[in-house]
Structure formats: structure tokens, C-alpha cells
Homo-oligomer: A and B are copies of this chain.
Amino acid sequence: MVRTASDHIPRAGTVSTDGVTTIAEVARQAKVSRATVSRVMNGHATVDPELAGRVREVAARLHYSPSRVARSLSLGRTQTVGLLVPDLGNPMFQQVLRGANQAARRSGYRILVADSIEEPQREAELAIEARRQCDALILCSPRMPEPELVQVLDATRPVVLVNRELTGSDVPTLTVDYVHGIRAVAQHLLDLGHRTLLYLTGPAESASNAARLAGLRQWQADHPEVKIEDVPCGSMIEDGYRAVDVVLDSGATGVIAFNDLVAFGLLGKLDEAGVNVPGDLSVAGFDDIDFARYARPSLTTMSVPQADLGRQAWDQLQALLQFPGQTAPGPTYFRPRLVQRASTGPAGSTS
């Protein structure tokens, strides 16, 4: 929007037309130049106390506060970082958001959220688009194929990658050691005497699901005496809910759900079906969301420091913003911790 130059006021005297006061207006009323106002507002240089006082007084009276947009344009930074997640409805990503937001806030940054759930296939596009509005990006659990990911990372840096790995990239990466994690769960179930396990897989595009599968294969190789089956399921409560028949038909005595959400759904339906957990069937989840311990029976799961992922993501980003050239120290692994609760128990304790 351009104002007509019908009023022959010189640029320096531009007066706000709408409700918002501008630096020019403050300058005019304080009888100083805009530069001086700017200096005062930013605590810059040593400006005459007399003038500074006048400026501050006028600024306060007019409720003046510099335009973030204009400031962003001039400074070349927005003090905003984008966060792209696959599903804002998932507690895992909510926690990452929460952690990142808190950390960013402390440094005076804000977070712009982007949720790709409506159009997962446009994930890459969304990332790049979001990035154009901020100074950096946190890419959480991107589902896009690797070649695309490489391009996106390159197009959006500074960027940090959360919950997905990319070999040969210098992008700071925070990831969970799902391979170890899933092995720990399997071992836990074996220790309880379970010889027939079932893994309810997550979304096919999910890298963390692939990692879990890989871990399971590894572990299987070391334990040929155990039968492990995996069936497609999903990542949401409903997916677990619907999986109950497959689970019961499988003959498995121990079930590992892709995540706690799935485990929750499964537990719910099992209860309705009158199946005793862990008497008839042991169920383990993954993530340790807040509600896991309040499930009935309380959910055995691998604890992932979700908010920490967010916090650290911000830390890495901030480092990158300060020292742009800095190369990444390789992926940072968060090792999940087995939290043994009541949903898993000795094999064949009832039945």
C-alpha cells in the first residue's frame, strides 16, 4: 500500500495514518531525528540524557514500539524460527514444540508452527515456505524421501533435524536411539519369558519406524529362539484400537507398539474384550508420554526426553545462528530408557 504524496510532507516528516505510531512521529514530537529515536530505543551509543529523556517520554506517551516487520527487513532477521511437525495432535511433537518454544523464548525468539498432516506429500514445500518467514527451521520427523530431504535441508539452513538421521550431512541432528530402544523392549519381554512377540509398526514413511524395525531384526538375529512378527498398524490411538484382532489372532504373548498412542488404543480395546493385561498379554509402548503412567495398567515403555529434543534443537539452532560456519558434531543420540510398569509381566501368568 502506497500513500499518495498529495500532502507534500517530506519523508522525514511522514506521519502515521493508521493507529500505529511510527518512529517518525516520535521523532517529530520529540524534535529530534529518527536516527536518534532509533538509537534511544535500542540503547545504542551514548545519546544526550536530555534528548534521550525527551524521546522516551514521547515514546511512552504515544505507546510507541518499533515495528517488528520493518525491523526485520532492516536487520535481516525476524527473531522467529519455524517448527515443522508431521502431526500437531501427537503428544510427542507437542512436547518438542513445548520444549523448543520455551528455550527459544528465553532467547527472545518466537516459534512459527507448521503441521504437515493435511498434506504430507507437500512436506518439503511446507518446510521451505515456512523457512522464508523465519531465521531458521526445526525439522521434526520429516517423512519425505531422502533425496528430497537433502535438498530441503540445503534450502532451509540454518536448520536442525530432529528425530531423523541423514548420513553425510553437516546439519545438526538430534535423534533417538530407536535401535537400542526397541532391542531393550524386546529383551525386557524375553526376560519375562515371552517367546512370541508382535511388533505393531508405525507409518511406513517414518524413519523412526524403520529404525525400530532394524533394531528388531538385529535383536532377532541374536535370539533365534524367539518368534517375532510385525504387522502394519500406524501411529495413532485408533490404529492401536483397531489392531486388537490381529494381535489376538497372532498368538503372541508380548506386543510392542510403535508408540504409546498405539499402545493406549490397544489397551483400551483389550480391556473391552476382556483380555487381561499383563496376565494374558503383555503390552509395551514407546515414548513415555505423560499419560503412559496413568494408563490402566500403567504402560511399560521406552522413555524419550521429548521436550529435551525441542530444547536442544533450539540450542543447536542458536549456535548455528551465532556461528554460521560451524559444522555439526555428528548426530546427538538420545538413548531411551526402559520404564517398567504394569502392562508387561511374566509370560503365561494367567490364561
Contact = CB atoms under 8 A, between A and B. Distances in A.
Most central of A69, A70, A74, A88 by chain B CB within 10 Å: A69
Interface in A101-158: 101-102, 105-106, 110-115, 117-118, 130, 132-133, 155
A75 B114 CA distance: 23
Contacts of A97: 88, 113
Interface stretch (A51-59, A174-182, A192-200, A292-300): A292-300
Interface in A68-90: 68-70, 72-76, 78, 80, 88-89
A303 B115 CA distance: 25
A98 interface: yes
Interface stretch (A262-270, A314-322, A330-338): A262-270
A339 interface: no
A1 interface: yes
Interface footprint category on A = 35 or more
Contacts of A63: 155
A115 to B, nearest CB: 6
Given A75-B1, A268-B298, A296-B271, A68 B115 contact: no
Given A110-B113, A264-B294, A88 B78 contact: no
Contacts of A113: 97, 101, 110-113
Contacts of A102: 115, 117-118
A94 interface: yes
B74 A1 contact: yes
A250 interface: no
A218 interface: no
A67 interface: yes
Nearest to A105: B118
A112 B114 contact: no
Contacts of A271: 296
B101 A115 contact: yes
21 contacts: A1-B75, A63-B155, A69-B69, A69-B72, A69-B73, A69-B78, A88-B98, A89-B94, A89-B98, A89-B290, A94-B94, A98-B115, A102-B117, A102-B118, A110-B130, A111-B113, A237-B290, A268-B294, A268-B298, A291-B294, A295-B296
Interface of A: 1, 63, 65, 67-70, 72-76, 78, 80, 88-89, 91, 94-95, 97-98, 101-102, 105-106, 110-115, 117-118, 130, 132-133, 155, 237, 264-265, 267-268, 271, 290-291, 293-298
5 A-B pairs with the lowest CB-CB distances in the bound complex, closest first: A296-B296, A268-B294, A88-B98, A264-B294, A68-B133
